Chains A and B, each alone.
Chain A
Amino acid sequence: MNRFDYIRPVSVPEAIAAAAVPGSAYLAAGTNLLDLMKVGASRPERVINITRLPGLDRIEWLPDGGVRVGTLVRNSDLAYDERFAKTFPVVAEALLSGASAQLRNAATVGGNLMQRTRCAYFHDLAGACNRREPGSGCDALGGENRLQAVLGWSEHCIATHPSDFCVPLAALDAIVEVEGPHGGREIALDTLHRLPGATPEQETALLPGELIVALRLPAEASSFSRNARYIKLRERTSYAFAVVSAAAALEVEGGTIRKARIALGGVAAKPWRAREAEALLEGKQATAQAFAEAAELALAEARPSGDNAFKIELAHRIVTRALSLALEGTPQAMPALPASPFPALSGANHVI
């Protein structure tokens, strides 16, 4: 444990000023950061608790039909917000497939965006990890890497981003609103998380001291509400990260795809938007063949980073499935097992 300063600012400017000191970290619910601090994988010198900042826990509907979600809105509160779930059902489904009910009740929107990789080597202080300790090497390469990245990785890092929530957000062109020492700016969620390249320690596009204050979903993203699904494969029905996952959203008119959105989870250091695959689908008939071609294109650049070639095949199949299920239509009600390929079973009529 490092000794660290603990600061609880009461305004955003105060928070940002406090975070200008190098070695600072923002703390919201702490469902990820505190665990990392306990094992020593994260060692901030200054922890800035933002949970008392005013006005960041609101869901605001914009005049154009978009939505602005404060960074402190709890995962559960957002997923169960009726209008939100109706307008952006794929996001609600992804949220409810993440973690456990207890964690979702605590975890915040901003915290979810900023969660760190689950790579075991990132957590294993006795091992080398460029993300944790730049230049030390990557023990995941050649290690136990069954669940590591198959897209966008480098020999410096093969970790994945674990969020479910971020996958449909990337697909739907979500925007992140940021405040920082030099004022406010907006970042497309798709560019918030960075691929490792030679600098895996630079995990996001945020500059030192910058604070995510809100997340915006544009009005256009609501046009997919009738045909959007998030599907997640995992080895336990709840409280498990995705082996691979996919968000698919379609705008269909008379069997023809007008617009398509596809993003993959669990495959790269960021939620993986598959723009070329989307483009391929647009204007095409919605057929299994077209979906398979889109999946092929989405995974065209994929390559195993270790004993994980199966993830490429699995990702291919889950993209196809997510598209098929999206075409079938968004379920009228949240499935009993959100994001599961399995429909409800007797005895399982609860959100996990």
Chain B
Amino acid sequence: MKTELLILTLSAPLWAAKVSVYPPKVELFGRGATQVLAASLDDEDLTAGCSLASANPKVVSAAGSVLTAVADGKTSVTVNCKGQQQAVPVTVSAAGEAPRLSFVKDVVPIFTMGGCAGSNCHGSIRGQRGFKLSLFGYEPEVDYEAIKKRIDLRDPEKSLILEKAVFQQPHGGGFRFAVGSLEYRTILNWIRDGATYDSEGSPRIASLDVYPEERLLVGVGATQQLVATARYTDGTVRDVTHLVQYSSNNADVVQISPDGTVKALQPGETAIMVRTLGKAVASRIAVIERRASKDYPRVPRNNYIDEFVFSKLHRMNIVPSGLSTDSQFLRRVYLDTIGLLPTETEAREFLESKDPSKRAHVIDRLLERPEFAEMWALKFAELFRAGTREAGAKGGRIVYEYMKRSFFENKPWDKITTELLLSQGAHMFGRAPASFYNISFDSNAPDHATNISQVFLGLRIECAKCHNHPWEKWTQDDFYGFAAFFARVAIKEAYENDENTHYYKEEGTVEHPRTKKPVTPKYLDGPEEQDAPEKDIRFDLARWMTDPKNPFFARAIVNRMWKHYMGRGLVEEVDDFRVTNPPTHPALLDAMANDLAQNGYDLRHLIRAILNSRAYQLTAEPNESNRGDEINYSRYIMRRLMAEQMLDTISQVTGVAEKYRGYPPETRAMQVYSGAPHYMLSAFGRLSRDIICERDHQPDIVQTLHLISGDTIQKKIVAKNSTIEAWLKESPDETIIDRIFLTTLTRYPEDAERARIAASLGDNPEAAKRRGVYQDVMWAILNSREFLYNH
């Protein structure tokens, strides 16, 4: 070993980067056991260009990038790459034994790898042609029952399971593997051995890892060898690179071969999903054309968020857009933070201010405004589906006002969450959000588990209610274990006028639909929790959820906040965290989650950090470098105003309030906590709250037509109490033009705009004509993208 190290040291230039090999040591168990070795230098995969040399071919042989066990013993394999040599220790054991083939470890993965156990084939809910496999092999015992009906012990080669796979019999799924292939031989030998199911207590897969977890490929055609490793419940480890199924989340960016070789096709980012035996992991792959040159600009950092964002942009060789103008920033931060535009006075003061800290100051002021609290109250009321059941608008208002008060007081997120989890009481009375759990007719625990995991943990586990999660690791046991925390959350009628109340009843369990037995509460990815009489187990749940070590809680709210202000979640969809849907900036997500938890779950602290970052304050205008970038925050992501922002700002700038059915006059759309049917709000994406759902901000023709020819804008512009009427009475033309632009677009008109309006006004002092011109200008602006979008 010393000699090998010496060789490595001497052969490598002192200044050269070191080639790394994965895995750094190899353990092979059983006759013919194999291991793929992957070598890389920085981001460059060298596997294909490396040669392997076994120090003792009688123990282990090397061919290509694969080592194969020959005999028991210890030796090493030297990896020769780029003039460097790396020694990898190898241990071979039980090579003399032909290990009895395991149905679980050897046979089931073949059906996953071959795509047979996928959701569009035999792994679907109904299976295919009467042959039903569990999704990605998560229930081997079920698979065994299905497969054993399709084998012939007397004539194994005639087994239907083989003949279909090799297409010797008609097969809707076509050819899966060849006669004589490793897959074929494995199944055939297993049948010849008696086609038995594994004995009780035989090892099961415990985890699946993929190497590398993240890789940057430089240049189209660059490759990367993936290595998949399974760890079993008996502690053994096995290279399953050839036994897993690979798929690319974006096949336009990279291609993945069945042996785990990734090939770059075009610049972009994606993930390769790796699945077997009900386990799934992902390798994040980014492709760039070329590395950043020395001319890459130095981008200033305002805080740690910028460090993460701009470092990645540098790595991806994407140059961010420049800093937004004061006008762009002010309009943007007002809309994003309070849902309104700055007033004319606020705009003038900000634009004229020379204070270098004026952006930070305005952010601080906005976070103190009640409208900030109202915006988040509405967003959460929608997520909580407040007001949708019999508590109606009354219950909806209580939930909304609770969230509004909480945000206004800057109540920590862990405290809000705990209060909501523990909420109970009459739905329509008091100030506590008693109708938080009022989302299903019978207040059932599975519904609560679904909603709470999605909203607070960013996990969509609902699929596991009926079957193990198709894309993730969650099983039915996980789902019902989590649901059991809500087994005693119940609804009853209280008082004498048919009022309903939620309460924590004295007894109650959740029954597992498969076993028909009561389920013990169990944390997601965590241990069980024992329930007991007079114990409110939701306290324990709240403690677990809000613990800074909880892997989901802080990240989920960080991602939600990030998406609101930055236009795209670090994880998309915002509530769909899963291994196979990795974040674009995992380190940034971790850093912000950690920052939030370390600062007492102070949401304003988090929001302040985001808003003060240069990343937030970039202009929305793309440059040549970042035009194609959609996910790295290299510019501000333009988006259409949400329905309430749009209606409130139209009302704000025209000076004519909208009236909402059931709500007092002067109510803004952002204060409409539930109900109040309104065409424009619905057309622009307000949700019905039937399910937890994110809003669609995409524009469509209905919206466009409503803005152009609907009565919302037109009525307000021509109203007798409009701002234009007020301005006409008190201001000269020059001032009115400025006022229109400042109130709607937070900027002064450009010379060309000013000239064109002046030309329309002409020298005609007639009030009616002037009024008409200003109304036209206002109409045009309110229908412009510059007004309708935040940018």
A joins B in a complex: no
Chain A residues near B (Cβ < 8 Å): none
Chain B residues near A (Cβ < 8 Å): none
